[in-house]
Homo-oligomer: A and B are copies of this chain.
Amino acid sequence: MTSALPTPRKTPTQRRAIETCAAIVEAAARILEEQGREALNTNRIAERAGVSIGTLYQYFPDKHAILVSLIRREREALLAELRAIQAHGEAALQAMIAASIRHQFARPKLAAALELVERSFPLGPEAAAMAEEIATISSGLLAQRFGALAQDDLLTAVLIGRGLVNAAGEGLLPRQGLAERVSLAIESYLCAAARQP
C-alpha cells in the first residue's frame, strides 16, 4: 500500500525519475524562452520534455509548481554566487554587479520571462525566502561599503541596479559598459543620499 495520495506530488528516488523531473523543468524553461508565457501549458511541457502528461503530474501537483521549481532552480544559481561574494570584502560590490549581469545574460529571454511570471502570482514561501535573501545580501554589501544609510535608500539602490540589468537584458541598454553604468548609478545615488538628511 503506497501512502502518497494526499499530496499528488511524488518524490523521485531512481535516477531515471530525477532526470525526468529536470527534463520537465528545463522543457518549461525552453518554451518560455522560445514561445513566451502564453504558450506554456502542461501538455506542451510534457511533449517537449519527451514524457507523457501522466508522468508530469506524478511529480508536480499542478502547472504552478513547475514554474516555482524553475524559478527556484534559476535563483539558486545566482544566490550561490552572491553568498560566495559576500566573503570577498574588497571588490564585493563590483563582483555582485558582475554576477548579476552574467546571470541575466546567460539566458536573457528566460530571465525576462521569469520576472514577468514572478510578478504575476506571488510565489510560495520557499521561493519568496530566496528572493528575500538575495535582497538582504545585496543591501548588506551596500551598507558595508557606504556609511549608515536608511533602509529605503539601500533598497532604492538595489532596485536601480536590478532595473538597469533587467532593461539591458531586454536589449534596452547596451551590454557594453553595463557594469560601469550600474556601478555609477548605484554609487552616485548612495553618495548623494548620504549627504542629504
Residues of chain A touching chain B, judged by Cβ–Cβ distance below 8 Å, are: 36-38, 112, 116, 119-121, 152, 155-156, 159-160, 163-164, 167, 172-174, 181, 184-185, 187-189, 191-193, 196
Residues of chain B with a CB closer than 8 A to A37's CB: 120
Cβ–Cβ contact B36 & A120, under 8 A = yes
Q: How far is the CB of A168 from chain B (nearest CB, A)?
A: 9
Q: In the complex, are the beta carbons of A189 and B184 less than 8 A apart?
A: yes
Q: Are B152 and A156 in contact (CB under 8 A)?
A: no
Interface of A, helix, strand, loop or mixed by DSSP: helix
A185 CB contact (under 8 Å) in B112, B160, B172, B174: B160
Known contacts being A116-B116, A189-B185, is A163 close to B152, with CB within 8 Å? no
Q: Given known contacts A38-B120, A189-B185, A196-B184, is B172 in contact with A164 (CB within 8 Å)?
A: no
Q: Once bound together, how far apart are the Cα atoms of A120 and B32, in whole Å?
A: 11
User: What B residues does A36 contact at CB under 8 A?
Assistant: 120-121
22 examples of A-B residue contacts, CB within 8 angstroms? A36-B120, A36-B121, A37-B120, A116-B116, A116-B119, A116-B120, A152-B174, A156-B173, A156-B181, A159-B172, A159-B173, A160-B160, A160-B185, A163-B163, A163-B164, A184-B192, A184-B193, A185-B189, A188-B189, A188-B191, A188-B192, A189-B189
